[in-house]
Every structure is written in structure tokens, then in C-alpha cells.
Amino acid sequence: MHLSALDAVPYFDRPSAPAEPGMPLAAVDTPALLLDLAAMEHNIAVVHGAVHDMNLALRPHAKAHKCVELALRQLQAGAVGICCQKVGEAEIFVRAGVPDVLITNQVVGAEKCRRVAQLALQARVAVCVDHPDHVRDIAEAARGQHVRVDVLIEVDIGQGRCGVANAAQALGLARAITAHGDNLTLRGVHAFSGRAQHLRQPRQREQDVAQASVLLNEIVGALHAAGHTCATVTGGGTGTYTLEGRSGIYTEVQPGSYVLMDADYAANELAPNQAPLRQALLGLCTVISARNGRAVLDGGLKTFAVDRGLPRVLRAGWQVTAVSDEHTVLQAETEAAARAAPLTVGDRVLLQPGHCDPTVNLHDWLVAFRDDVVEEIWPVDARGALR
């Protein structure tokens, strides 16, 4: 289904970039999505260092940034590969030279499975399964391309979404996978809970990962007892990766947001031993209207995803009160604040997005800056790669 749709030529392919290298931030066109390189480098140093110290593999989730340049920096900093969520994302990263991609999702349908098998000709590729039909379809596609594809059994550890619920279901899938031994390799188990990432208290997150680890130990024990290899147990995000790392059962963690950060993750209370991460992803907007302690910005729901709360404006005395299709409305907290730090037409403000993943997916470019100067412009290569 990877069509060229020759009869439908868009008038427009990718919006032009809002800046060019060497430009001061003050000259960047708005709305724009900025990447603070120093903050990004800090976050990579903290997380990659912590994972290295725990003697684990790190496989960052590229669905958060969808950006080849960022993935390459993560690989340079020790990542063993990346995670993707969509076959279309994996295709882009493999084309860019990423040698090892785990699709942390069920791939459904003959055509998407064929594309996975095709990718396996060029890179180490794995997918997740939680139903015998997934195994049958990916095996058939791998056989068709004469390749081997790695498979992980997804376990539902509390998200209530995809994944098997118990050892009996996992064993059934393991048997189905090994029955296709010429084309499929059982790599292990995938177990991720998005819900757990955003439990606000460290103790809540600890309990959640501890409970998941009990189930995983049972399942991995059952797989081993039945003679299956289970080399990899992978999962864990920005909110919990240190807990999976110390669980004794996970061999690999897959945080994604850590490199960018957002207001939702920033609201997590950190454990005493956790190094804070810095906000690397920022929205830059211009005030287009201002009146009575109110300022209206030139970016709204097409600039910021609001599914986990409104963006936070980084301007003392002002707060975001509404985001509509095309505008974000700021209100001065007090009359004194409005006088002390007024906003008027043409002023520019920075905002911390509420949720990084769907916000990045709204943008075609990341403006990477250091010390208020644009250093590089990175395409969000896999923006819109839905399939």
C-alpha cells in the first residue's frame, strides 16, 4: 500500500524551516519548535550514564522525537538501537542508517508485515506480538522475503492495552513462534506501562514496577522452564527506567521523552537519588494581540498538543489560560505582574509543551539552538508516519 498517488500532487510538501543556522533566536519565525542543545546533551548524559551504570541496554523510543539527527546522537551516546511505533517510522530510520529497530507494537495486515520483512533485509528488526495471528502473519512475510525477524511477546503489566495477561498465554505464543523457527526468533518479552510513567509519587512508581516485575518473573520463568530462550526483557520509560533497571528482570530500557521533556513529566516528583532532567523542547510564539492583561499568541492546537494539559509559558507573572485551534491566550496573574513584565504585540515568549510526543508530530522542523543562536535545523523526518 506504499503508493505514489501520482494523480494527486500536493501544492506543497513540507513547510519551509522557520530559521537558518547562525541566526539569533530573536530572528526565528514563529510559531516554531526549538531544541535547547545544552539541555538535550545534559539529558542524554544523565540517562545514558544511569543506564550504563546499571549495566543495561538502552534503546530510546524514537516516537518521541521522530528525528534522525537526534536518533544518531542517541546511538553515538551508547544506545544499542531505537524503538519505533510504526513501520513507516522504522523505514525512515533504517533508510537513515539506524542498524537496529524494535517496533514496540503489533504489526497487523499482510502488507505492513511485508514491509517489516523487507526492512529485515537491511537492519536488525523486531516486532511485538500478543496473538497467534500476529505470529502467523509476520512468519509468512518473513518466509516470503527469505529473512528472519525477531519477535517479542508483549505482556500487559497494568496499562490495560495490548499484551498477554499471564504465563499460559505467553507460552502459547512462544510455541507458535518457535514453530516458525526458520523465519522467526523469539527475542524475549516486551512490557511497558505508559500509565506508570506519570504516577506522580516515586513510591507509586516503585510499587507499580515491583508488581509488574513479579508477573514478568513468573512469565520469563515459565518460558525458560519450557525450554524457550528469553534473552531480552524490554520496557520502561522516562518516568520509571531506573526502577526497571534495578528490577533484576529487565535487560533493556526504552525511555523516549527524556531527551526532550515536557510539563507532564516535569510534574513527576523525583526520587531522592534521581538527577533532574532539563526542558530541551520549547515552543516559541509571538504576541499578536494584547489588551487588559491578556496576550494572545500565534500558536494554538496546531502548535501544541494539549492532551496532557496546556503548555506552560516561561514568563514570570503570566499564565496560559486557553489554547484554541490557532491561538494560545495568556493572562497576567495580577495587575502588578502585567505592569512589571508587560506583553505587547510583537513580543516573543517561550513555552514548555504539555506533552512532547504529539507536539513534535505537529512540526516539520526542530530549531536546534545554543546560547540564543540557532546551530542547526533538523527535520522531524518521521512526522506524520502513521502507518
Segment 78 to 117, residues that bind a copy of itself, using CB under 8 A: 85-86, 88, 92, 95-96, 105-109, 111-112
Among 301, 309, 342, 375, binds a copy of itself (CB under 8 A): 301
Among 113, 306, 320, 349, binds a copy of itself (CB under 8 A): 306
> 18: which residues sit within 8 A by CB, 6+ positions away?
28, 29, 30, 31, 32, 365, 367
> 155: which residues sit within 8 A by CB, 6+ positions away?
163, 164, 165, 170, 189, 190, 191, 215, 216, 219
Half-sphere exposure of 57 (CA within 13 A, CB side): 17
Burial class of 368 by CB neighbour count within 10 A (0 to 12, 13 to 18, 19+): buried
Among 288, 309, 319, 370, binds a copy of itself (CB under 8 A): 288
Query: CB-wise, 46 or 165, nearer to a copy of itself?
Result: 165
22 binds a copy of itself (CB under 8 A): no
Within 123-152, the residues that bind a copy of itself by CB under 8 A are: 130-131, 133-134
Half-sphere exposure of 247 (CA within 13 A, CB side): 29
Query: CB-wise, 108 or 214, nearer to a copy of itself?
Result: 108
Query: CB-wise, 50 or 68, nearer to a copy of itself?
Result: 68
Number of residues lying near a copy of itself (CB under 8 A): 96
Among 48, 50, 51, 63, binds a copy of itself (CB under 8 A): 63
Query: CB-wise, 24 or 49, nearer to a copy of itself?
Result: 24
Among 52, 146, 161, 203, binds a copy of itself (CB under 8 A): 161
Is the Cα dihedral 92, 357, 204, 153 positive or negative? negative
How distant is the alpha carbon of residue 42 from its chain centre? 18
26 binds a copy of itself (CB under 8 A): no
Strand, coil or helix: 375: strand
Within 228-287, the residues that bind a copy of itself by CB under 8 A are: 286-287
Query: CB-wise, 216 or 323, nearer to a copy of itself?
Result: 323
Give the integer Cα–Cα distance in Å for 131 and 196. Answer: 24
The three-point CA angle 119-1-358 to 5° equals: 75
30 binds a copy of itself (CB under 8 A): yes
Query: CB-wise, 29 or 140, nearer to a copy of itself?
Result: 29
